[in-house]
Amino acid sequence: MRDTSHIYCVAMKIRLTLLTSLCIALAGAYVFGQGGAPQPSKLDVVKLKDDMFVIHNAVVPGNTTVLVTNEGVVLVDDKFAVDYDNIVAEVKKITPQPIKFVVNTHHHGDHSGGNAKMQAAGVQIVTSEAARKYMADGNLPGQPAVTFVDRGFIHLGGKAVELYQFGRAHTGGDTFVYFPAQRVLSTGDAYTLSPETPQLIDYAGGGSAKDWPDTIARALNLEFDTVVPGHGTVVTKNDLRAFHGEVTAVRTKVHDMIVQKKTKDEIWAMLQRDHKWNQFQQRSIDGLMLELQ
Ligand SMILES: [Zn+2]
């Protein structure tokens, strides 16, 4: 299942078959060359703090968080392999420091696709043990050598990065990356902006609409002001609170409708009407009904 996941390209109306890359369905506009080979996304950089930046895809709104220290750079997510050269170039514009660590928020190819090239350049890749298992199951290149369970830390140049696994959400291995001094939280696809980049539940990859609200609630216990979603523009803690309300409402309403013996079509109509779910999310409907009955 995982190695035949379909990637849908909203803007280009192209459908491909590639390794586990559910979340590119989010944004769509993945640009392909004449031979169908993926082309690098155009990147731009958003400055959050003097030592913190986001490398944002101009077209596909995916995010790579950058922490600069005087002993090297920590990145959160490394996009596709084809984006590697441009990510490195953007980091070089920010700082002469080398990239030392990449944290993958989860196993999807648009967040971990650069791993093999990063490793070849001497970068240490870190993710949750669960996310690494999904990478191994999918035989994905660039599997991390270092993993953590529940909570991990990276200490570099006197700065701390905290890694949290708060539970299942978009996948079964979602990692939240917390920068306490900067009061910034990078969520991966456990939080994406809707409706531009809606909530997607990767059931084959351990995702859970049932656990999702509790996972977000645990993240909200951290002290931060700024949120870097997996896809979409940088927002605030209040936006993440609103998203918590959204995923909670989906869980409650779908469960209640199943109890009331509503049909799948009726539930789907509610999700489209009340929560702006789209055709990509429709793939999750069977798993959703099974989980929330
Ligand atoms: Zn994803």
Residues 125-174 pLDDT 10s: 999 999 999 999 999 999 999 999 999 999 999 999 999 999 999 999 99
Measuring CA to CA, how many Å separate 200 from each of 147, 171, 189, 227, 260? 24, 9, 8, 18, 25
69 membership: H or E segment, kind and range? strand 63-69
Find the 105 Cα to ligand 1 centroid distance in Å: 9
DSSP structural state of residue 10: T
SS3 of 144-169: the string is CCEEECCEEEEEECCEEEEEECCCCC
Find the 139 Cα to ligand 1 centroid distance in Å: 17
If we measure between CA atoms, which residue out of 107, 97, 205, 203 comes closest to residue 157?
Answer: 97
Burial of 53 (0-12, 13-18, 19+ CB in 10 A): buried
Burial of 46 (0-12, 13-18, 19+ CB in 10 A): middle
Find the 22 Cα to ligand 1 centroid distance in Å: 6
Angle at 240 between CA 222 and CA 28, to 5 degrees: 130
Find the 96 Cα to ligand 1 centroid distance in Å: 30
pLDDT < 70 regions, the chain: 1-37, 58-61, 194-197
Interatomic CA distance for residues 149 and 86, integer angstroms = 31
Find the 70 Cα to ligand 1 centroid distance in Å: 31
pLDDT of the residue at 203: 95
Q: Could you tell me which residues are beta bridge partners of residue 44? A: 56
Angle at 224 between CA 165 and CA 191, to 5 degrees: 50
If we measure between CA atoms, which residue out of 146, 171, 172, 173 comes closest to residue 161?
Answer: 146
Find the 17 Cα to ligand 1 centroid distance in Å: 16
- How do residues 75-88 score in pLDDT, each as one tens digit? 999 999 999 999 99
Find the 189 Cα to ligand 1 centroid distance in Å: 5
In the chain, the domains with their CATH numbers are: 41-246 (3.60.15.10)
pLDDT of the residue at 287: 94
Measuring CA to CA, how many Å separate 135 from each of 95, 166, 254, 284? 31, 19, 31, 21
Find the 240 Cα to ligand 1 centroid distance in Å: 17
Structure tokens at 233: 């523009």
CB atoms within 10 A of CB 170: 29
